[in-house]
Structure 1
Amino acid sequence: MNESQYEMILYWDKTDKIFVVDVPELQGCTAHGNTKKEAIENAENAVQFWIETAREDGLKIPEPKGRLIFA
């Protein structure tokens, strides 16, 4: 499994004036930053932390599906 294969959704939060990244395949996995680059780097770290924590807790880690399709 490659942690960088999880889909990340990047958006601008007008209220807080930061970039936010959601990783929808990993419940509750989000990150933010003052720049797009910083937000993505923080999200990559958050994915690694999410996976490490799930392993320690004996939880199932979803396989990356790539692009998600919403109807």
Structure 2
Amino acid sequence: MTDYHINVFYSTEDGGWVADIPDLQYCSAFGDTPAEAVTEVLVAKQAWLEAALEEGKPIPPPKYRPAIYAAV
């Protein structure tokens, strides 16, 4: 199984790094560094998946892939 894509970006509004998983609605986490944000979003992903299973909700397959732009 292919895993879910994780976006990582700096939020000036929040003053830190945010990691999110677009395929899992509202699954995101915050960190002081990019690595910390990714570590936290992996914890959030596990919780998201467990909650969906417990509630009998469907788990979406990984589909999101970011567009990659080549510099000309």
Whether TM exceeds 0.5 here: the answer is yes
1:66 Cα deviation after fit:
5.4
C-alpha distance in 2 between matches for 1:26 and 1:53: 12
Consecutive unaligned residues of structure 2, counting only runs of 5 or more, are: 68-72
Identity, in percent, stands at: 39
Q: TM-score, normalised by structure 2?
A: 0.83
- Kindly indicate whether structure 1 or structure 2 has the higher relative contact order, using CA contacts under 8 Å at least 6 residues apart: 1
Read off the aligned partner of 1:46 and give its amino acid letter: A
Q: TM-score, normalised by structure 1?
A: 0.84
Structure 1 segments of 4+ aligned residues over 3 angstroms from their partners: none
Q: Which has the larger Rg?
A: 2
Contact 2:11 2:18 in 1 (8 A): yes
